Amino acid sequence: MIRVGLLGCGNVAEVIASEGTGINITALYDFEHSHAEHLKELTGAPAFKKFEDFLSQDLDIVVEAASVGAVYEHAEDVLMSGKDIVILSVGALADTDFKNRLIKIAEEKNRKIRIPSGAVMGLDNLKIGQISPMSKVLLRTTKSPRSLRIETNEKTLVFSGRADECIKQYPKNINVAVALELATGHDVEVELWADPDIKRNMHEIFAEGDFGDFYLKIKNNPCPQNPATSYLAALSIITLLKNLEKPMIIGT
């Protein structure tokens, strides 16, 4: 059974621990050590105060469910130590130099960088863009003004432009766009809307190419423990981990 270390022990990690039956969690680390100690009660896995001690454990794969900053700080060390990594905070890979550095280390160490689908669906299908170029990829994300830390009484377009520009203004709202760029191999146009009437975060994906056209709308339910966290994102990691050792692979 694959041995999993959790880097980041917040709400996503708690869903993995409580609902990921059969996932062998063997080590825990969080910058806020109390979070790791809390998860220790659910998993029985040791919680480490020092990242170096966490990384020295006999792990097969490290699951990052912390932040873009945690990816910058720790992803290279994870790969250098001979372990695979799951990166949920994929916004860090908008930095092309950093992304290429991780890929180079992974190749040299014969390791894998795994990107879960996160808060959206359809990435598997959209990978066809890597072999048949797409003419358009648009992400339209709609959230409550509160989650974007703005005030408005009506539906308002707060950003329109490229994903690499959006990340400079709204770094916590760009993970989906970066995941789409990685999947399709195409620049993603982003529309970010604030809507005081919306109850759930909504992502709409539009893509066009030689294959035809594609439209998908996802309305995310929040994690039961924290409305700021996508339940779908947590479930996508559980699904990824459970399929690592299966003999039959579904999809591209």
200: left (phi over 0), alpha (psi -120 to 50) or beta: beta
CA–CA separation, 194 and 144 (whole Å): 5
**Beta strands of 65-201 (E only): which ranges?**
84-87, 113-114, 134-143, 156-162, 189-194
User: Which backbone phi and psi does 170 adopt, to 5 degrees?
Assistant: -135, 65
Whether 114 contacts 187, CB under 8 Å: no
CA–CA separation, 166 and 139 (whole Å): 11
Q: Verify whether residue 186 is a known catalytic residue.
A: no
HSE-up of 12 (CA within 13 Å, CB side)?
26
Known binding residue 175? Answer is: yes
* Interacting residues of 251 by C-beta distance below 8 A, sequence separation 6+: 124, 125
Going by the annotation, the residues of the binding site are 119, 175
Going by the annotation, the residues of the binding site for NAD(+) are 119, 175
**Any idea which residues carry the catalytic annotation?**
203
